[in-house]
Amino acid sequence: LHVLVTGSTGFIGAHVVDNLLAKGFRVRGATRSASKGEQMKAVRPQYASLLEFVTVQDFSHIGVFDAVMDGIDAVIHVASPFFYNTTDNEKDLILPAINGVKSILSASAQSGSKVRRIVLTSSFASVLDVDRNPPPDFVYTAEHWNPLSYETAIDPGSSSVVAYRGSKKFAELAAWEFIKTNAPRFDLVTLCPPMVFGPTVHPVSSVDQLNESNAVLWSVAAGADPLPTARVPAWVDVRDLAEAHVQALMSPGAGGKRYIPVSPEPFSYESAADIIKDQFEWAVDSVTRDYEAGKKPQASYGVDGETVARELHFRYHRFRETVVDFVVQVRRDFYAS
């Protein structure tokens, strides 16, 4: 099978690429940056015959994938803007996220298309209701949707965090609506991960170029004071998430489903600080002392990550393993002299 991966030179997309290659799929990565595509290829010489990159335009345009679908059987659509230093929330985050989804779906529905499944990286942001005051035993499942309205998401008074949540919700909704309205020959699977952490396999030129979620985790090792506050106590390892994407593509029964890949272990940046200090001698001096050490992370609600792990046959990493693997890599890649 020949799979198109969008966002292929980003944090999650590059892991999806590697997971597919390891399973023998042919992969076409889409990126706005030809040079990042070249860098990805250069460090994967063993996959020269399976891996290619195509350059696409920014999602401020629509129809950006129309010309790159030739021979493609399935799509994993990972690309979406994920950053918080915006100047115009609707223009920077919300419209590109929706345009990207509409572009990939309409390109996959062109006449002659061989695409039979699309896996979409949505987010727990499209599930979570931040205003809910859940009872202690409340568990989010894939049935839940963030009630945020479009008007609030685009309101210039809303923060970029709110706008990002809206971008993911309304992009995912656009995908489900496309399926309902157009009844295309492909089906859809969406994945709604919370914070994603772990080692990187995409081109990162310096530590300040780390993707948004890993940058926050690294800030703990680098001495952030106060420690960052976790907006959600839920996380998943990027390698588990990549496996979930690829299993979602391969598993016949997954069509039409929405899943939440989330580790059963809640996390906090305090627990990350504990792990980093415990594991790395150098970190005893760099990590702030100004927090309550040794406190177990508390989650005010549960999130059902068991369903996807059971149905798509994978196991979750432990938080400790993810943090250690990531910190080891950052030190090696950016601080080794």
Interaction site with ligand NDP (CB under 6 A) = 7, 9-13, 31-33, 36, 58-59, 78-82, 96, 121, 123, 168, 193, 195-196, 211, 213
Two tokens, residue 100: 């990207």
Looking at beta carbons only, is 113 or 167 nearer to ligand NDP? 167
Taking CB atoms, the residue at the shortest distance from ligand NDP is: 10
In whole angstroms, the minimum distance from the beta carbon of 105 to ligand NDP comes to: 15
Closest CA to 190 of 213, 173, 178: 173
Looking at beta carbons only, is 121 or 322 nearer to ligand NDP? 121
Where helices occur in the chain by DSSP H, the ranges are 11-22, 34-42, 89, 95-108, 150-154, 160-182, 212-221, 238-250, 269-279, 283-286, 306-311, 319-330
Looking at beta carbons only, is 243 or 277 nearer to ligand NDP? 243
Looking at beta carbons only, is 121 or 146 nearer to ligand NDP? 121
User: Which residues partner with 236 through β-bridges?
Assistant: 196
In whole angstroms, the minimum distance from the beta carbon of 232 to ligand NDP comes to: 10
Q: What is the rounded CA–CA span in Å between residue 60 and residue 94?
A: 10
Looking at beta carbons only, is 36 or 117 nearer to ligand NDP? 36
In whole angstroms, the minimum distance from the beta carbon of 236 to ligand NDP comes to: 8
The residues near 126 (Cβ < 8 Å, ≥ 6 apart) are: 145, 146, 165, 168, 169, 172, 173, 192
**Residue 163 amino acid letter:** A
In whole angstroms, the minimum distance from the beta carbon of 104 to ligand NDP comes to: 11
In whole angstroms, the minimum distance from the beta carbon of 322 to ligand NDP comes to: 12
Length of the chain: 337
